[in-house]
Amino acid sequence: MEEKTQHIDVARVCELAHFDICAEEMTEFQAQLDNILAYVNKLDELNLDGIEPTMYGQPVVNSFREDVVTPSLPREDVLRNAPDSANDEIKVPKIVE
Amino acid sequence: MKYIVSIGLETHVQLKTATKMFCGCNLSTDCPPNTNICPVCMGLPGALPLMNKEAVKLTVMSGLMLGCEISKYSKFDRKNYFYPDMVKNYQISQNTHPLCIGGGVDITANGAPKHIRINHIHLEEDAAKINHYARHSGIDYNRCGTPLMEIVSEPDMSSPDEAMEYLTTLKQILVYAGVSDCNLEDGNMRSDVNISIRPEGQEQLGTKIEIKNMNTFKGIYAALEHEIARQTAVVSAGGVIQQETRRWDADLGETITMRTKENAHDYRYFPEPDLLPVVLDDETIDSWRKLLPELPSQKKDRFVEQYAIPEYDANVLSAQLPVADFFEKTIACGAQPKMVSNWIMTELLRLLGESGKELADIPLTPESFASLLKLLDKKTINMPTAKELFPELFEKGGDPEAMVKERGLGQVSDSGAIEGFAKQVIEANPKVVEDFLGGKGPALQFLVGQIMKLSRGKANPQMAAEVIKKQLGV
Amino acid sequence: MDLDISKMTIAAAADGMRAKDFSSVELTQAVLKAIKEKDTEVKAYLTVDEEGALAGAKEADDRRAAGESGDMLGIPVAMKDIFNVKGQPCTCASKILEGYIAPFDATVTRKLREAGAIPAGRVNMDEFAMGSSTEHSAFQITRNPVALDRVPGGSSGGSAAAVAGGTAIASLGTDTGGSIRSPASYCGCVGLKPSYGRVSRYGVTAFASSLDQVGPIVKNVEDAAILLGAIAGADPHDQTVLNREVPDYRAALAGASLKGLRIGVPKEYFIDGCDPEVMASVRKAIDMCANAGAEVREISLPHTEYAIAVYYICATAEASANLARFDGIRYGFRKVGPEATLQSLYDRSRTDGFGKEVKRRIILGTYVLSSGYYDAYYNRALKARTLIRNDFQKAFESCDVIMTPVAPTAAYKLNSTVNDPLKAYLGDIFTVPANLAGICGISVPCGKTSENLPVGLQLLGPAFGEVELLRAAAACEKEFA
């Protein structure tokens, strides 16, 4: 098991989540999240060796769809929701690779 | 110092399904932008992925073709990263329990057989297409959600040529299995390449460089050659290769850093709760196994065995599935196997090559092809007539028997007619006859040729030779 | 016609329309009137499409004239702002979905329409269903109609406030960790969280995909049975819904009785730090069940104390991915920084588009999945979730239904937890285990505190045990009346 810290690297996590929060909020979140983290470390009390993880809402498997075409949405319905569009495409700032 | 090269490929292959991986949107390529989209492939709030059974089946079939072990239990995971071509900002992929494990591809390297191991094959969804303009970028989501199978090889290839050989063989097998068109122009088959070098004698692999998203074999070859030279230069100069992701710039002819290890993505994989795990029983796997075609190498062996044709012929004929099928169908119509094989290799493949056409696009059918060859075999027509008729059949199709009858092309095997021609030829060419009687072999061919001329190409050449010899008392 | 919506149940409205006492148009007009007159202080509703609602009512009346007569025909239903209803906004009480108009119907919306019900009005919630007080809405504070200085609970607080406040006959909410049961309990309504896989989640904006379920918040158990029957069942758009038959839940209530019912009372749910009045009220309710012939026994759900930790790891991890799609590109709120780059579009849209609680949870969820912490946090939580699931499986071997309080307290004062998220999270202790285990649960009013605040009794049943659960709840309801 990896080393646990009592401290979330909020700045790094914000980068992953695409949040650009102000210093004040950063401080507030840091304290609250560290507090929550300390609480959830309660799970360390449990011996979980050999326990299977529960990843799904019910223990069921195999649900498929047949490969049959179903109607798509009218393009207007989709583009109407877009904050910006041009030439029937959704417009974003120029992406530099 | 000599360096050993290790190359591994992650090849993304678009599966031949009618609909997308997780929704029922149509997959046709030539649709106006943003017309094949729905709440699922647009990542609208509340939309849920729906697993396409056909995509699972095609992936398992690929695994069976490539000798993989099919997982009894597999599941999907979310791979998290932000990019505008991923509507959910996570890609549904398979991280820990892929559908197929192990397997490999047999190639020929420097004339010797070599086995390139496959690590696993997993199933995932493709991203949207981003178009770049002067002042903005525009996104077309039609491609978003296209089923992709990712075939991950071990780093077993040691030269760009081996990588080409691997990709060509892989493509041949997948097209054979009918799981993908592997059409490179349409981006049906794209590869990420990883490559490292190490000094001869060193066991451990060198630091690997990944080169992302290449869709031509030529590009991969060039990128590998460049990268081997670059890495060799760095290491030879006492430098150290840093782990990083690069991209191939075809215009510059070099690879360029995309991101270093420090900037590597943290994908935060976790199980996809919206899709249930896939549990395959033997019965299902067996039923899919029954749908598999022969592997090219199996087909080759069978051709040698069943049709008694040389190994070389069998190899050429089995290389492309349509050609192999055409070969067998023509035989099924009663043509003689070796004859069919010769004609395909010399005439048919030549015309296909010259015209740039696919077998599927030409009007020539196995039936009419067989009919032509049977006319030849029964000596109803002779070789020159057959060769004259063939390009016409290739271009326009038709019934060779009717054509021969209509145009009076039937070979003259009537000994009376040939005897008459022979008499004329012998009388008209005393010098040549003398040569022939004097033992000059080619003189006979000249005389036969004259008979052919008189018969306007329709005389049976063997018979003509016999008659001449007989009349000259030889 | 003057129809009193505050007492109107689905069953009564259906009877009234069948008897031609009133039409769906009249009923819908009465609901719209009640919203106008009575929702000014409670503020349960975010948007009301009057025209659409009346058109739906007219259509229902036409269908009735053509011979249809189902229980849901012509019934207006208040929809939590999390459901896609074609042509309507669906903001999830978040700024980030500003301007989004749903181009499709959620499956529950479609099923309601097929049954002739009318999605009438969108009600408030905690932003993206993250919260237990409806104070985390980007748009407005909804008050508890029973005590206006208190929260209605959450996250489906708008649903409960509308039903309790007499501005809705019935409402549809979602429950990821108690978001139906807790507001139902705080406002004195009945709230049912079905088993995971009973109701489709298609078109329901996801919070935590392995925990979310849709369910009714209504005035009595019978209505819960009717509404569940209308929305449950297999769906080609949601592969996690089980392909099981949907029983006639309403008919199954006939003859419901407590006699011989084996009630398990988990000792871990009666702990220090809970409001003694709430505990006493729940104990008294259980005693009444015993007096009515039920067999009450103490049971143990030993891993209960870990449920909050497991829940806040699992739910936030899933949420961090589920809410990644809100990025300002394809729909909703977009803001670009002065640099006008893609990066600034992501950062500004998401930072300014999401509220604090949502950001807090996304950060936590991102963290527990990030490189180096997956095994330490996320995977441990998934394993502990197995223990919690096993606890229930074992418990249901010896009892038919488990009875507990819904929440450790009655409705609390506004603003009392907003700055202490952990304190707020701990309030979910009795409701989250059912979501983690995928089982069904219902909140039924069982008494009041000295301040006249409603107290809810939680009944829990095994997965797909909705018939037995509803029968037990109906019997309790009769007993407590």
Tokens read off for C84? 């896609």
Please tell me which residue of chain C has the smallest CA distance to A10: C363
Mutate to test the interface with A, among B136, B251, B258 (most CBs of A within 10 A): B136
Rounded average pLDDT over C442-457: 98
Average pLDDT, chain B: 92
Determine whether C155 is an active site residue.
yes
- CA separation (Å) from C450 to B21, B380, C156, C415? 58, 112, 25, 22
B137/A91 touch (CB, cutoff 8 Å), yes or no: yes
Mutate to test the interface with A, among C323, C366, C373 (most CBs of A within 10 A): C366
Determine whether C24 is an active site residue.
no
pLDDT of B288 strictly over 90: yes
The model's confidence at residue A2, banded by pLDDT at 50, 70 and 90, is very low
Rounded average pLDDT over A40-66: 97
Q: Domain residues for A35? A: 1-45
Beta strands C170-175 and C76-80, pairing class: parallel
The model's confidence at residue A1, banded by pLDDT at 50, 70 and 90, is very low
The model's confidence at residue A4, banded by pLDDT at 50, 70 and 90, is low
Interface size B-C, in CB pairs within 8 Å, comes to 99
**Which DSSP category does C178 fall into?**
S
Ranking A66-75, B180-189, C5-14 by mean pLDDT, the lowest is B180-189
Rounded (5°) CA angle C210-C172-C77: 155
Rounded average pLDDT over C142-163: 98
The structural domains of chain C, with segments of one domain joined by +, span 10-238
Please tell me which residue of chain A has the smallest CA distance to C308: A40
CATH of the domain spanning C10-238, picked from 3.40.50.300, 3.30.110.30, 3.40.50.2300, 3.90.1300.10: 3.90.1300.10
Query: Which positions in chain B touch C213 (Cβ < 8 Å)?
Result: none
In this complex, the residue of C205, C206, C239 whose CB is nearest that of residue B51 is C239
The structural domains of chain B, with segments of one domain joined by +, span 3-287, 296-407, 415-471
B:8-27 residues touching chain A, CB 8 A cutoff: 17-19, 23-26
- A85: part of which helix (H) or strand (E)? strand A85-86
- Separation of alpha carbons C18 and C20, rounded Å: 5
- CA separation (Å) from B365 to B330, B355, C252? 8, 17, 68
CB atoms within 10 A of CB C22: 16
Q: Return the HEC string of B115-135.
A: EEEEEEEEEEECCCEEEECCC
Better-predicted residue by pLDDT, C307 or B258? C307
Determine whether C257 is an active site residue.
no
User: Is there a contact between B125 and B146 (Cβ–Cβ < 8 Å)?
Assistant: yes
**In Å, how far is A13's CA from the nearest CA of chain B?**
10
Rg of chain A, C-alpha, whole Å: 23
pLDDT of B264 strictly over 60: yes
Query: Which positions in chain C touch B53 (Cβ < 8 Å)?
Result: none
User: Is there a contact between C406 and C384 (Cβ–Cβ < 8 Å)?
Assistant: no
- Give the predicted TM-score (pTM) of the model: 0.89
Instruction: Summarize pLDDT for C320-375 with one digit per residue, the tens.
Output: 999 999 999 999 999 999 989 999 999 999 999 999 999 999 999 999 999 999 99
Selecting among C24, C94, C155, C195, the annotated active-site residue is: C155
Q: Write down the pLDDT at residue C426.
A: 92
- Separation of alpha carbons B125 and B131, rounded Å: 19
Instruction: Summarize pLDDT for C384-404 with one digit per residue, the tens.
Output: 999 999 999 999 999 999 999
pLDDT of C318 strictly over 70: yes
Q: Which of B431, B428, B413, B422 is nearest to B472 (CA)?
A: B422
| Class of domain B415-471 as given by CATH | mainly alpha
Q: What percent of chain B has pLDDT over 90?
A: 68
The partner residues of A91 in beta bridges, in order of sequence, read B138
Helix orientation angle between B296-307 and B311-319, rounded to the nearest 10 degrees: 140
Rounded average pLDDT over B13-29: 94
Helix orientation angle between B383-396 and B400-407, rounded to the nearest 10 degrees: 120
- Separation of alpha carbons B357 and B369, rounded Å: 17
Which burial class, exposed, middle or buried, applies to B312 when counting CB atoms under 10 A from its CB (0-12, 13-18, 19+)?
exposed
**In Å, how far is C166's CA from the nearest CA of chain A?**
34
- CA separation (Å) from B339 to B296, B349, B372, C5, C347? 21, 14, 11, 90, 70
The partner residues of B246 in beta bridges, in order of sequence, read B211, B257
Tokens read off for B30? 């030539």
Q: Is A71 within 8 Å of chain C by CB? A: no
In this complex, the residue of B24, B34, B80 whose CB is nearest that of residue A69 is B24
In this complex, the residue of A18, A55, A86 whose CB is nearest that of residue B273 is A55
Please tell me which residue of chain B has the smallest CA distance to A71: B25
**DSSP helix, strand, coil percent of chain A (3-state; round to 5):** 40, 10, 55
C240/B82 touch (CB, cutoff 8 Å), yes or no: no
CB atoms within 10 A of CB B353: 9
**Which DSSP category does A18 fall into?**
T
Q: Is C87 within 8 Å of chain A by CB? A: no
Instruction: Summarize pLDDT for B412-454 with one digit per residue, the tens.
Output: 666 677 888 888 888 888 888 888 888 777 888 888 888 888 8
Which burial class, exposed, middle or buried, applies to C337 when counting CB atoms under 10 A from its CB (0-12, 13-18, 19+)?
middle
Instruction: Summarize pLDDT for B121-166 with one digit per residue, the tens.
Output: 999 999 999 999 999 999 999 999 999 999 999 999 999 999 999 9
Query: Which positions in chain B touch C320 (Cβ < 8 Å)?
Result: 80, 268
B:126-155 residues touching chain A, CB 8 A cutoff: 130-141
In a domain, A72, yes or no: no
Rounded average pLDDT over C371-380: 95
What chains are in contact with B, requiring at least 3 Cβ pairs below 8 Å? A, C
- Separation of alpha carbons C82 and C109, rounded Å: 11
CB atoms within 10 A of CB C55: 14
User: Is there a contact between B387 and B420 (Cβ–Cβ < 8 Å)?
Assistant: no
> What domain count does chain A have?
1
Q: Write down the pLDDT at residue B360.
A: 83
- C402: part of which helix (H) or strand (E)? strand C401-405
Q: Write down the pLDDT at residue C134.
A: 97
CB atoms within 10 A of CB B97: 18
B18/A66 touch (CB, cutoff 8 Å), yes or no: no
What chains are in contact with A, requiring at least 3 Cβ pairs below 8 Å? B, C
Q: Which of C86, C82, C66 is nearest to C74 (CA)?
A: C66
CB atoms within 10 A of CB B151: 26
A57/C197 touch (CB, cutoff 8 Å), yes or no: yes
